A and B are shown apart, each in its own frame.
Chain A
Amino acid sequence: MGYLLRRLAATLPVMAVVAVVVFLLIHLSPGDPAALIAGDLATADDIARLRVALGLDQPLWRQFGLWLGRLASGDLGTSIFTQVPVRELLAQRIEPTLSIAVLTMALTVAVAVPLGTLAAWRAGSWIDRAVMLFAVLAFSVPVFLVGYLLIFAFAVHWPWFPVQGYTRIADDPAAWLRGLVLPCINLALVYIALITRMTRATVLEVLHEDYIRTARAKGLGVLPVLGHALRNAAVPIATTVGVGIALLIGGVVVTETVFAIPGVGRLVVESVQRHDYPVIQSVLLISAAVYVLINLLIDLSYRLFDPRIVY
């Protein structure tokens, strides 16, 4: 319980730094933030009005205080471009992004952990080499190129999956899943490469331990031995899964663009083009919070993998 509180408290300074960075973002620009938000076609009057409307005429610390206060009450601000509260905007866009993220994560763990274990078990064999080659290739090929190749092959040449777009799960669950197959494979590739490499490295290390040799010596089969190994390798693998969330969130932006999926990632890119800073700030803040939260949960789950860990 003490550990839980301490671990929770440790996330506070991190989120505070995130808040300061996100707040200062529009003040970092060399020009006048009001002029930046107003865009190239604004008149001096427009800019002046906007400055007052957004509270940009107040001292910086006061702006920060007001902004934090509104955040604390759950108010993420209003989109400058659409005049819709950012919360509503995000609520409309969250379903596709969440669907992609969760399915990709499931796909990644389902593929990467067995693949990495196999590579470690057969270290040095052609299977191992093939897996490692795949990993280094997946790290090197741009996500969007793979995306278009997937579309070309499995949506245009063999029309098994829709080319682009998104169907809501409430409208048609089967179409929802079919539409997400290619985006999720696309996004998962980099993530699979990362987790596979980490799994291979840690399992390989564990396989050299004495208790593994004992287990094999007493005639335990391959699968139970690998099970032992995997369980002992679980903590570093889980840590990598958590750190990789940042990669996943970044990748969603690209995947949504390639597959024309109206999610939060598209929203960010559209907002950058529209100079819609409240939206950009909110997405940054929320992604960081998600990253911190998931890593917190993973930290707390270590005990499930390894009962020796006592908080």
Chain B
Amino acid sequence: MSTVPTPAVDGDDDDAPFAPPRLRWLRKHPTLVTGALLLVLIALASLAAPWLATHDPQDLDPLARMQPPSAEHWFGTDALGRDVYSRAVWGGRISLVVGLSVAVLATLVGTLIGLVAGFVRGADAWIMRIMDGLMAIPGILLAIALMAVTRASLTTVIVAITVPEVPRVARLVRSLALTLREQLFVEAAHAVGTRLPTILLRHVLPNTVAPLVVQATFVAAAAVLAEAVLSFLGVGVPPQVPSWGNMMAEGRNFVAVAFHVILYPGLLLAATVLAINLLGDGLRDALDPRLARQL
């Protein structure tokens, strides 16, 4: 980096000229680093749940119901006398699995649909009308309705949350594909007789990765919240599963006497979603400054 004082465009260009390049990049994106660190911490804690938990998450103790936090029960106990801390540690797994699965599924399906819409003339109008229709139904309502026609399980929850997210990804990919289609390198590949699947795989897809990764993080954040909302409304994963949403749903009737039952899972959930959102914001600024304007 030059030592001549140049007017910094973004204001954060060269504040650490002597740091190694990689570290400097990290320092330039504090949001990304904060989000990633927080998320890794939460993921590690969830993976280590068997060792971190102080009690069996399903163990009932009728004599110690709705106890406030203490040395024995760090986050107190719930209405059935179960240890809130241990359940909360295990519950993180459900949220993370849902977030990750929905992000991956919605991105895969949405990308496929978006690419077809962007490259197959004739299919575009039809596909996008269907996507518009799906987007007109508020996502949470669609997920609730889908849960109403299936038996509650982790898989159905993941599918129910994925369906409303697919059109958003498809729309993004389609708009990227429409721009890329007109690019010289795609036209050139087409002109030398490269087949469409190869063009899509080798020339188009790599150019959609950055915005897709950003979009996927926001889908993951929305999915973690949606899982909690579905459970809270009583239409999420089966009640015996210790998910943060279920814990809060069970605590709903005892808010006045045992607020801690809702508070701790709620705070953990908020921290997780915040971590993913920060990661997404950071990635967006780092990978694609043009996207930064579009929320």
Give the shortest distance, in Å, between A270 (CB) and chain B (any CB): 10
- Interface positions, chain B 222-236, Cβ under 8 Å from A, are 225, 228-229, 232-235
Q: Is the CB of B130 within 8 A of A17?
A: yes
Give the shortest distance, in Å, between A84 (CB) and chain B (any CB): 19
Give the shortest distance, in Å, between B244 (CB) and chain A (any CB): 9
Give the shortest distance, in Å, between A31 (CB) and chain B (any CB): 9
Give the shortest distance, in Å, between B30 (CB) and chain A (any CB): 12
- Count contacts on B: residues with CB < 8 A to the other chain: 47
- Interface positions, chain B 3-39, Cβ under 8 Å from A, are 11
Q: Is the CB of A30 within 8 A of B141?
A: no
| Binary interface encoding of chain B residues 193-237 relative to chain A, with 1 for a CB under 8 A from any of its CBs, else 0 | 000000000000000000000000000010001001100111100
Taking A148-B262, A287-B137, A287-B141 as known contacts, 10 extra A-B pairs with beta carbons closer than 8 A to each other, sorted by chain A number, are A13-B129, A13-B132, A25-B145, A145-B248, A145-B262, A250-B138, A271-B148, A284-B137, A288-B138, A292-B136
Q: Which of the candidate stretches B67-75, B174-182, B270-278 sits at the interface with the other chain? A: B270-278
Q: Which of the candidate stretches A47-55, A176-184, A221-229, A273-281 sits at the interface with the other chain? A: A273-281
Partner of B269, one of A30, A142, A254: A142
Q: Is the CB of B150 within 8 A of A29?
A: yes
Which of B133, B136, B259, B271 lies at the interface centre, i.e. has the most chain A CB atoms within 10 A of its CB?
Answer: B136
A16 within 8 A of B: yes
Q: Residues of A contacting B277 with CB < 8 Å? A: 136, 139-140
Give the shortest distance, in Å, between B186 (CB) and chain A (any CB): 29
Give the shortest distance, in Å, between B250 (CB) and chain A (any CB): 13
Chain A interface, DSSP helix/strand/loop, else mixed: helix
A–B pairs, 21, beta carbons within 8 Å:
A17-B136, A21-B137, A22-B145, A25-B149, A28-B146, A139-B221, A140-B221, A140-B271, A141-B273, A142-B232, A142-B273, A145-B270, A194-B295, A201-B295, A253-B141, A254-B232, A269-B144, A272-B144, A272-B145, A288-B133, A288-B136
Q: Residues of A contacting B263 with CB < 8 Å? A: 145
Q: Residues of A contacting B139 with CB < 8 Å? A: 246, 250
A71 within 8 A of B: no
Q: Residues of B contacting A13 with CB < 8 Å? A: 129, 132-133
Give the shortest distance, in Å, between B195 (CB) and chain A (any CB): 32
B140 within 8 A of A: yes
Q: Is the CB of A247 within 8 A of B133?
A: no
| Binary interface encoding of chain A residues 187-220 relative to chain B, with 1 for a CB under 8 A from any of its CBs, else 0 | 0000000100110010001000000000000000
Give the shortest distance, in Å, between A28 (CB) and chain B (any CB): 6
Q: Is the CB of B232 within 8 A of A14?
A: no
B66 within 8 A of A: no
B47 within 8 A of A: no
Q: Residues of B contacting A246 with CB < 8 Å? A: 135-139
Q: Is the CB of A26 within 8 A of B136?
A: no
Residue of A nearest to B276 (CB): A140
* 9 residue pairs, one from A and one from B, having the closest CB atoms: A17-B133, A250-B140, A145-B266, A140-B274, A29-B149, A140-B273, A272-B148, A249-B138, A246-B138
Q: Residues of B contacting A30 with CB < 8 Å? A: 150
Q: Is the CB of A14 within 8 A of B133?
A: yes
Q: Residues of B contacting A18 with CB < 8 Å? A: 133, 136-137
